[in-house]
Chain A
């Protein structure tokens, strides 16, 4: 009886995961970071399956691995929520919508790409996308400044300047941040030793 309800709850979890990924992937225009924001809203805020720090870690992993950020994040979230089956279901939910949409579009792509109504609609949607991302950034920054050390707030600013103003390669920025983490750790230990 008990195992039966267990498989049942596992199945409903997989289903929820699949539907959420399908929904997110269908309605997320504008690249990896947009989709990652939607995932955070769904799995951290709404479902509470993953906590905020862990989600940020998963995003960092997704960003620094090869491949699409959305697919990588979907692998990580799926695995975290329901193991191997979760990963399979989650990735399937993520790649199905673009595959179906692109298959349809590849049949009449010129008409689509040059249609001015479609273009205006998509242009306007950018306003919503930008607002969503900056809304999430506000939340994350407020949470971060509450509980992290000042050096981390400084790193946020520095990383922003590096990537936004100077177009520094993202992989380089991430590696630098990781190195700073190692040094901070050594520094903390040395202080402990000295005291």
Chain B
């Protein structure tokens, strides 16, 4: 019974979180915290922090976390399946339509108009992460600027763009260097 409830709740979360990531938060909160009381508000805030700190989509992270706490590993698996179930069906359907009508004139025009918008969305996500690194939650003034972060960002950009280094390697180097510099400066 609890498995069915978990499956249905995360099915709703998966179905209504359009636009990814942060769109899912309010729905997880209303389904999991408010409706079922599976997490307290504080546990929910931990979930958000953890989801931000670990790889993977927040919906999958949330399903695994909640499922585990409510009904162990089977719970985690069932909740995760529930959360991706709507996407499996809807995305497959859209893919079918896309490949079927791709060559159509109107469809082509729509797709050409969507491509620049997708680039803009990606750019916006990237700048959002950069601003969060540079200023965190503080006001965006020069006194609050995280200089170490800025220099690391510049170096990482150069390493990827000009030197063509592996992005995963660059990411871990950034993490290690950032921690190392703070340890050296004794500001930990």
Q: Which residues of A contact B (CB under 8 A)?
A: 23, 25-38, 41, 53, 56-57, 59-72, 75-76, 79-80, 87, 91, 95, 97-99, 101-103, 105-106, 109-110, 112-113, 116-138, 140-141, 144, 148, 152-153, 155-160, 163-164, 169-171, 173-174, 177-178, 180-182, 184-185, 188
Contacts and interface: CB of A to CB of B under 8 A. Distances in A.
B171 A113 contact: no
Given A60-B111, A66-B86, A25 B119 contact: no
B59 interface: yes
Contacts of A121: 175-176, 178-179
Given A79-B92, A120-B178, A101 B171 contact: no
B125 to A, nearest CB: 4
A34 B94 contact: no
B90 A66 contact: yes
A105 B62 CA distance: 12
Contacts of A163: 120-121, 124
Contacts of B124: 160, 163-164
Contacts, number: 353
Given A61-B95, A68-B17, A101-B55, A178 B90 contact: no
Contact of B88 (A75, A144, A156): A75
Given A62-B91, A188-B109, A99 B76 contact: yes
Given A164-B127, A170-B19, A185-B106, A128 B117 contact: no
14 contacts: A31-B20, A67-B83, A75-B88, A102-B50, A102-B54, A105-B65, A112-B53, A131-B156, A133-B126, A148-B112, A152-B112, A159-B120, A164-B124, A181-B111
A101 B56 contact: yes
Pairs A-B, 9 closest by C-beta atoms:
A124-B178, A98-B56, A133-B126, A68-B57, A67-B87, A181-B113, A181-B110, A128-B171, A185-B109
Contact of A101 (B54, B130, B156): B54
A128 B94 CA distance: 33
Contacts of A71: 57, 59-60, 84, 87
Contacts of B167: 38, 41, 128, 132
Chain B interface SS verdict (over half):
helix
Nearest to B68: A106
Given A65-B18, A181-B113, A31 B57 contact: yes
Contact of B171 (A59, A125, A159): A125
Nearest to A152: B116
Interface residues of B, number: 92
B115 interface: yes
Contacts of A98: 54-57, 60-61, 64
B64 A56 contact: no
Contacts of B23: 170
Contact of A60 (B19, B87, B114): B114
A28 B17 CA distance: 20
Contacts of B58: 31, 68
A123 B181 CA distance: 12
Interface string B62-93: 00110011000100110010011011101110
